[in-house]
Homo-oligomer: A and B are copies of this chain.
Amino acid sequence: MVIISGPSGVGKGTIRKALFGIPDNNFCYSVSMTTRKPRAGEIDGVDYFFVSREEFEKRIRKNGFLEYAEFVGEYYGTPIDYIETMMEKGKEVIVEIEVEGALQVREKNPEAVFIFIVPPSRNDLIERLKNRGTDTTETIKKRIEKAEREFHLAYKYDYIVVNDEVFNAADRIYAIIRAEHAKTERSIHKYYKLLEGKE
């Protein structure tokens, strides 16, 4: 399981889409659930599962989230059932979550890979948030303040990837995934027969 995280507006969604464009990948995207309204072009079940507060809170009570958080008055969460099904199928599950949520997941899933996305500069992030054009000035201000707090948590992640250019960033994440597969503690079991002289 690969967790792509970082402040709001840093481009997590765009990077994730570029990542899924890499040929012959085995990726599977964990669709998040939210109570916020869809933005223009967002599709239910693709970008998010858009649900009511009642429905979201019912799932919280049933421990149905890998993580969830409330932000600017809306819930965001990662439904756990879909992830488990995909991992059983041998898929590489890519989870895109906010910083607060990611750190909740870290505690329970130390074997997952945690990637923090940073913008090339602070101004770049502010511009992106403004240009998104869907949020009010007040929401943008809150998001910027939140990003500043979140930057201080980057050190808790395994990797830091700068979103200088979306395809570069996606390619770096792909390299990280490949490298993680080659890590001795993750891969040595594949070579036991060879290494024990049985093959």
User: Closest chain B residue to A123 by CB distance?
Assistant: B199
Question: A155 to B188, Cβ gap below 8 A?
Answer: yes
* Shortest Cβ distance from residue A183 to the other chain B in the assembled complex, whole angstroms: 6
Contact B197 A184 (CB under 8 A): no
A159 near B: Cβ within 8 Å? yes
**Chain A interface: which size bin?**
35 or more
Partner of A191, one of B148, B160, B172, B183: B160
A116 at interface (Cβ–Cβ under 8 A)? yes
Stretch of A21-29, A33-41, A173-181 contacting B (4+ beta carbons < 8 Å): A173-181
CB of B179 within 8 A of CB of A180, answer: yes
Q: How far is the CA of A115 from the CA of B183 in the complex (A)?
A: 9
A151 located at the interface, meaning its Cβ lies under 8 Å from any Cβ of chain B in the complex: yes
Q: CB-CB < 8 A to A191: which residues of B?
A: 118, 154, 160, 162
A184 cross-chain contacts in B, Cβ below 8 A: 116, 154-155, 157-160
Residues from chain B with a CB closer than 8 A to the CB of A60 are none
In the complex, which residues of chain B have a beta carbon less than 8 angstroms from the beta carbon of A116?
184
> A161 contacts the other chain (Cβ, under 8 Å)?
yes
Q: Which residues of B contact A152 (CB under 8 A)?
A: 195
Once the chains bind, are A151 and B118 in contact (CB under 8 Å)? no
Known contacts A178-B175, A187-B160; A154 and B195 CB within 8 A of each other = yes
Among residues 115 to 146 in chain A, which have CB atoms less than 8 Å away from a CB atom of chain B? 115-116, 118-119, 121-122
Whether A176 contacts B182 in the complex (CB less than 8 A), given A118-B194, A152-B195, A195-B152, comes out as yes
Residues in B neighbouring A119, C-beta threshold 8 A: 194
23 contacts between A and B (CB under 8 A): A121-B199, A148-B197, A151-B196, A152-B195, A154-B188, A154-B195, A157-B184, A158-B183, A158-B184, A159-B182, A159-B183, A159-B184, A160-B182, A160-B187, A160-B191, A161-B182, A162-B191, A172-B178, A174-B175, A176-B178, A176-B179, A179-B179, A179-B180
